[in-house]
Amino acid sequence: MSEAGKQHPRYMLVFGGLAVLTAIEVTAAFMGFPRSVTIIVLLGLAGWKALLVALYFMHLKWEPRALKVLAAAPLLPAAIMVVVILMEYV
């Protein structure tokens, strides 16, 4: 890892965040909100958790910009794919 990676993030804080978000997610799933609201809330929470893992556990936050771009690159075709599929049903 590059010297920038030596500054260790507070892993236990990230861990606590992930645990709390998971608990909120499981609770929110059974709160009886309207289905569309539940789906948006749950996907938002899952995306947040995924971002925490990528940024802090995978150290993406401290990587060179080029690697960040590489890591984010598949998200564009992935988003296009999911959006195009969803448009079939909207």
Measure the CA–CA gap between 78 and 86, rounded to whole angstroms: 12
Q: Per residue in 7-17, is it b (16+ CB within 10 Å) or e — as a string?
A: eeeeeeebeee
Is residue 74 involved in binding other proteins (CB under 8 A)? yes
Binding-site residue total for other proteins (CB under 8 A)? 45
Sequence letter at residue 39: I
How near is the Cβ of 78 to other proteins at its closest, in Å? Answer: 4
Among the listed residues 24, 25, 32, 34, the single contact to other proteins using CB under 8 A: 25
Would you say 29 and 38 are in contact if contact means Cβ atoms under 8 Å apart? yes
Report the candidate in 75, 42, 38, 80 with the shortest Cα–Cα distance to residue 60: 75
How near is the Cβ of 58 to other proteins at its closest, in Å? Answer: 5
Binding site for other proteins (CB under 8 A): 1-2, 5-6, 8, 11-12, 15, 18-19, 22, 25-26, 29-30, 38-39, 42-43, 45-46, 49-50, 53-54, 56-58, 63-64, 66-67, 70-71, 73-75, 77-78, 81-82, 85-86, 88-89
